[in-house]
Structure 1
């Protein structure tokens, strides 16, 4: 397996963290997980998006930067692979959906200053699931502040992700996660492991789960 930095992305409830845990265990990899629970603005954002979107996104960007910046300065002799359950560009994609135009332009200026300092992944695994599946997963994990996320919001996030991936020609394993059950079905994880043994050109490479 030739990829040293693998990032998993997808919409809210797509199964990113679950898959990241399983892959990191398989590869004995360093695991970088989004510290969403530490963001004090997250519950407030879902109650009042217009008031709390900007501090929410700034907090996320600062925390993600701090985590990923450490990858540049630290190397673990016993772990040559790093698995992350988020892409730093996620900051910009969510901000584009959540912020009004003027705030987004300011946010983007900060983002553009920061991103050259970070290591980019060798390959992106994108989990694409329909909104109905996402809502089912969100209900199952039962975080109180997520239970009223509208379908339209999830759809806009989905569209923003897929547009970004197409536009930037990122080396991406685009996984149809409509029936994904990474914890309960070992064959679903094996599809990902088998795919990571191959080399790919830049662009999207589509995977279906059995």
Structure 2
């Protein structure tokens, strides 16, 4: 797959459900004057139905998510041209992990996954890669505890541990795939959370490293 030039001031935060992405993005954006892009989860017309009947709704929901995340990423690319830096709370790149998980557990058929993959490759072609994908590494059991005891969203109450475990495995595949595209991947342990300043320092170091490579 062919991508455009790396966008050195775009950073993507990925991780399992309830990993802590949104809180971290909010903190980084407010503290360091960055522009943040979030997912409008409450407006998702498929999410509740998907959790109730995954096989019926998985492909439709994932294609809906993909188009939403694709447009969000394109907006982020435009914003990055005139602002200090951009953060995305999940992205079109990580969307693949959710589709792969649904395919692996049988919710998306082989034919459906082929359809998704073709659209994924078509949509990403020519887009710039982010400066880095920062993956907040949290064990599925910890994510489930946060879902049930911290977030307490009604539509997420029925998420089984097996789904989160599958998503964790699918994310590992997705991260290796993006590494193969020469996209920087920074995996950060986040089970006990961490300091936003440490993440920002990593972003600065990675950005400077890439700019030095371009200058050579």
Query: Normalized against structure 2, the TM-score is what?
Result: 0.82
Are the counterparts in 1 of residues 22 and 38 from structure 2 also a CA contact under 8 Å? yes
In structure 1, the gaps of 5 or more residues are 183-187, 203-210
Give the root-mean-square deviation of aligned CA atoms: 2.1
Once the two structures are superposed, what CA deviation does each residue of 1:117-170 show, in whole Å capped at 9, x if it has no partner? 433210111001112210122121111011111111101110111122234423
Cα distance in 2, alignment partners of residues 120 and 132 from structure 1: 31
2:92 is the counterpart of 1:85? no
Once the two structures are superposed, what CA deviation does each residue of 1:6-59 show, in whole Å capped at 9, x if it has no partner? 110001110111111111112211111112221101000000000011111111
Match of 1:20 in 2: 25
Match of 1:116 in 2: 125
Match of 1:176 in 2: 189
Of the two structures, which has the highest relative contact order with CA contacts closer than 8 Å and spacing of 6 or more? 2
Are the counterparts in 1 of residues 37 and 76 from structure 2 also a CA contact under 8 Å? no
Deviation at 1:193, TM superposition (A): 2.3
Cα distance in 1, alignment partners of residues 206 and 47 from structure 2: 38
Are the counterparts in 2 of residues 68 and 119 from structure 1 also a CA contact under 8 Å? no
Determine which of 9, 17, 29 is the counterpart of 2:14. 9
Cα distance in 2, alignment partners of residues 195 and 73 from structure 1: 23
Cα distance in 2, alignment partners of residues 13 and 47 from structure 1: 19
Query: Normalized against structure 1, the TM-score is what?
Result: 0.84
Are the counterparts in 1 of residues 132 and 206 from structure 2 also a CA contact under 8 Å? no
Match of 2:214 in 1: none
Q: Number of residues paired by the alignment?
A: 194
